[in-house]
Amino acid sequence: MSRFTDIAIQKQYESVTVYQATKNFEKSCDLCCYRGYHLSCRHCHIEGAHETVIKMLTEKKKTA
pTM: 0.85
The secondary structure of 11-39 as a DSSP string is: HHHH--SHHHHHHHHHHHHHHHHHSS---
Has residue 4 got a pLDDT over 70? yes
Conformational region of residue 15, where left means phi above 0, alpha means psi within -120 to 50, and beta covers everything else: beta
Per-residue pLDDT of 7-63, as tens digits, reads: 999 999 999 999 999 999 999 999 888 887 778 888 899 999 999 999 999 987 777
Has residue 6 got a pLDDT over 90? yes
Task: For the chain, report the end-to-end CA distance as a whole number of angstroms.
Answer: 35
